[in-house]
Structure 1
Amino acid sequence: MTPLERLCQRNLDLLQSLDIAHRLVEHEPVLDYPTAHAVRQRFALRGVESKSLFLRIGEQRYAMLVSVEGARADWARLKQLLGSRPRIASDEELTELTGCVPMCACPFGHDTRISLLIDRAVLACDFLLYSPGPPQLTLEVAGAHLPRLLAALPNPQLEYP
């Protein structure tokens, strides 16, 4: 099993173990928002597309900023939360440390050394759409279940903004 397949399985196992209803659809790879919109319409997916930015903080610290499509990062606020100025990690770092492919970062299921920065807008969604890893898969999860999902994750978490 590849790292990306393991990430996907961790996400699916977590949802199942928490008894969180979800919908999984398979489609062409989604690596941009126009394709995501087309997939959402074709499969009548409800909700908001997630936006996950993999950040590097200093030499050895990493965080995943989990937000929604269209959200812009507040770099000053991120620096304040993280203690130093973050930068977007390289594609190589993303793949090596998460298994994800560039332009399709999964928000959940990562090594405990990766902190999660959860945008409040995510928690306000009726439904959140995100890839569990492979860009040809999309999960639809009700926003009401996200606090329970986040509480089950072992990663350090900070609320953003």
Structure 2
Amino acid sequence: MLQAALFDLDGTILEVRAEHFMQEYFQALARAVAPVMDVDRFTKALMDSVVVMLMNRDPSLTNADVFWHEFSSRMGNSREALEPLLIKFYANEYQDLAKIICPSPQGRRVVQSALDRGLRIVLATNPLFPRSAIYDRMSWAGLADLPWELLTTYEDMHFCKPCPEYFQEVAGRLELPLEACLMVGNDVTRDMAAADVGMRTYLVTDYLINPQNMDFREIVHWHGTLDQLCRWFSGANLEQALSDSLALDRVRRYVKSFDDSLAPLVFSEATSTVEEVARALGVEPGMIAKTLLFRSGDRNGLFVVAGDRRVSTKKVKQLLGSKPRMATSEEVEEITGYRVGGVCPFALATDVPVYLDSSMQRFEVIYPAAGSAHSALPITFAKLQAITRGTVVEV
């Protein structure tokens, strides 16, 4: 059960390009310290110290401890001279950066929808800034008055994103299991790393950060715009979506153990027909592999069929021994472990014989569901046969 939503700030619920903000921030900071130290030397020491802070894995040191230790080692005994300037900077010049911030009503709306759902909320921005600077950005965004349970700042946190310890530390502070937390962010590398430790993930695509051009559909649980996320929080089927995410994770683990190159794809919206899946993938309907459960007395058979073909009842009867019927949705979930619309033909809850429609061999790649109605697995027919140990039949 989902109990907490962790929200990244810049580019997620705050309408700003992070790289633009950081550029303006460093320039303003350099001007502020110019009276007491060489700007070029300061800037290099600052950037190098931030890199070390990002990489720190020592749980005994806060990010602030790491930063000041590294910065002092590069600049000498300058902390006493610098700290008063920083206090003045954050009280004055830093406030001018508000002009490049666009308060996002949508950002507030999506956080409020999480609260309305009964979720605890965390501001899970990367803890590279002091508390006052983060609070200011929240105020500029119109988010400071919300009942945040935790803000991740550099004074309090011991790790940064994407280190797994960051997400573990947040869950520990909340006294929640990792799977009860949802990480919401726009950075594929930093925010979505939460999935590696067992958190649920929602990638916000309005200001997407994806420098490596990864196919994020292979790693996230859900993705979409802030507007879609707001509707997702407010929807009636949120708990079922969370249950589906566990099925998707089961498929991911199963295929990785079989072939590390296999990875399910996740759609931004659930699909309910072959045509909808085909449109979402940009392929022809025949490439969508329908997985259908038939029952004949006490015998079951799982038929994986090309999206443009129908199963012959006569053929099913020959294979199962008596007149068959389609399983009910309740039977499908009990026997396969998946809901109708998301049935994957392997990693099943019970032992069911699998039959593969031979006509699917005409395609280089086919797409069975991967545990939920918003997922599909690109796979060759040969690999599908190997992983399911299915019998090839003409349907």
Fold conserved (TM > 0.5)? yes
Unaligned runs of at least 5 residues, structure 1: 152-156
Tell me the TM-score normalised to structure 1 length. Answer: 0.79
- How far off is 1:6 after superposition? 4.7
Q: Distance in 1 between matches of 2:301 and 2:244?
A: 18
Report the secondary structure of 1:114's partner residue.
Answer: coil
Counterparts in 2 of 1:94 and 1:119: CA distance versus 1, 3 Å: same
Tell me the TM-score normalised to structure 2 length. Answer: 0.35
1:36 maps to 2:277: yes
> Where does residue 299 of structure 2 map in the other structure?
61
Which structure has the greater CA radius of gyration? 2
> Where does residue 103 of structure 1 map in the other structure?
341
Report the secondary structure of 2:278's partner residue.
Answer: helix
Counterparts in 2 of 1:75 and 1:138: CA distance versus 1, 3 Å: same
Unaligned runs of at least 5 residues, structure 2: 1-178, 180-241
Q: Is the 8 A contact 1:31 1:104 kept in 2?
A: no
Q: Distance in 2 between matches of 1:139 and 1:158?
A: 20
Q: Distance in 2 between matches of 1:21 and 1:131?
A: 17
Aligned CA RMSD, in angstroms, stands at 2.5
> Where does residue 85 of structure 1 map in the other structure?
323
1:25 maps to 2:257: no
Runs of 4+ in 1 over 4 A off after TM superposition: 1-6
- 2:388 is matched by which residue type in structure 1? L
> Where does residue 8 of structure 1 map in the other structure?
248
| Amino-acid identity (%) | 23
Q: Distance in 2 between matches of 1:104 and 1:25?
A: 12
Counterparts in 2 of 1:158 and 1:147: CA distance versus 1, 3 Å: closer
- 2:290 is matched by which residue type in structure 1? K
Q: Is the 8 A contact 2:292 2:304 kept in 1?
A: yes
Larger deviation, residues 113-122 vs 5-14: 5-14
Q: Distance in 1 between matches of 2:330 and 2:384?
A: 29
Greater share of helix = 2
Q: 1:70 aligns with which of 305, 308, 333?
A: 308
Counterparts in 2 of 1:7 and 1:103: CA distance versus 1, 3 Å: closer
Counterparts in 2 of 1:104 and 1:112: CA distance versus 1, 3 Å: closer
Greater share of strand = 1
How many residue pairs were aligned?
Answer: 152
- How far off is 1:121 after superposition? 2.0
